[in-house]
Amino acid sequence: MKTDGHVRAGPSKAEMIAELDQFVLDISTAIKLQDQRPGGAAQLVGDDPDTDLALVRIDAPQLTALSFADSSTLRVGQLAVAIGNPYGFDTTVTAGVVSALGRSLRTQSGHLVDDVIQTDAALNPGNSGGPLVDAQGRVIGVNTAMIMPAQGICFAIASNLASFVMGKLIHEGRIRRAYLGVAGQNVPLHRRVVRYHELAHESGVFIVSVEPDSPAARAGLRDGDLIVAYGEKPIAGIDDLHKILTEEQAGVASSVTVIRGSRKEVLAVQPTLRR
């Protein structure tokens, strides 16, 4: 069963309507592999609505797994190839480039999906969950959404985030996160800014928007701030925030370091548990 949602996307303030290609898997349905071998019934290991990802297990020997690339090394303009079954056309391949990195999408249910790759490789209903791969065939993302009715504006969850979610689902079967309430994207920092403030990384998280009455809003975070550290840990990108903001951080008072204009400021923050 396919359900169509709507997505609002950053980093601009303008809202963009997208089709989120979500599927509900009937785990009692037998899976048939591409070589016509039966894969047995699928078992749902766990899912994570915040990233539109789910992990499914099937009993099928001698399968070759795709390798995952480090999505933090992606560059705008490099080749991206999407594989999926759009409208039931099996193993369809479309090619394009990485159009932008570090996008944020908000689903109609209110979930904010960070660290999203934008590509012009054509996606259609049925591509969701398929891999976005690089020129070496390594997974750089998991296809998830497209702007309707625009042409060539499609999105995939970055492979680093997908790997993190997969590991959590394998070990715990679910993911519970601490919640800040910001939408952000990865941006590079000028070397003069890095040297002047003695920062550990040459990138940070640019805050696109702050949700009203959220922990971030109460802490005084603003649109346009650059997050460069959380507590004592430097932040190079959204991946770092995801790894820090685990369930254990909910309710724990901490600090967030931001670059605001030309100043470095440290703000007190206390994340809550995401509902």
* 3-class SS letters over the chain: CEEEEEEEECCCCCCCCEEEEEECCCCCCEEECCCCCEEEECEEEEEECCCCEEEEECCCCCCCCCCECCHHHCCCCCEEEEEECHHHCCCEEEEEEEEEEEEEEEECCCCEEEEEEEECCCCCCCCCCCEEECCCCCEEEEEEEEECCCCCCEEEEEHHHHHHHHHHHHHHCCCCEEECCEEEEEEECCHHHHHHHCCCCCEEEEEEEECCCCHHHHHCCCCCCEEEEECCEECCCHHHHHHHCEHHHCCCCEEEEEEECCEEEEEEECCEECC
- Report if pTM > 0.75: no
* Among the listed residues 121, 104, 123, 87, the one whose alpha carbon sits nearest the alpha carbon of residue 16: 104
Write down the pLDDT at residue 39. Answer: 64
Write down the pLDDT at residue 108. Answer: 53
Q: How many CB atoms lie within 10 A of CB 219?
A: 21
**Residue bearing tokens 């959404």:** 145
Quote the radius of gyration of the chain (alpha carbons, Å): 19
Between CA 274 and CA 114 the distance in angstroms is 15
Digit-coded pLDDT (tens) for 138-171: 999 999 888 777 788 899 999 998 998 898 899 8
User: What tens-digit pLDDT sequence spans the chain (275 residues)?
Assistant: 222 333 333 333 333 334 444 444 445 556 667 776 766 677 888 888 778 888 888 877 778 889 999 998 999 999 999 998 888 888 899 999 999 988 877 655 556 677 799 999 998 888 888 999 999 999 999 998 887 777 888 999 999 989 988 988 998 888 878 889 898 888 899 999 999 999 999 999 999 999 999 999 999 999 999 999 999 999 998 878 888 888 888 889 999 999 999 899 999 999 998 76
**Residue bearing tokens 């680093």:** 160
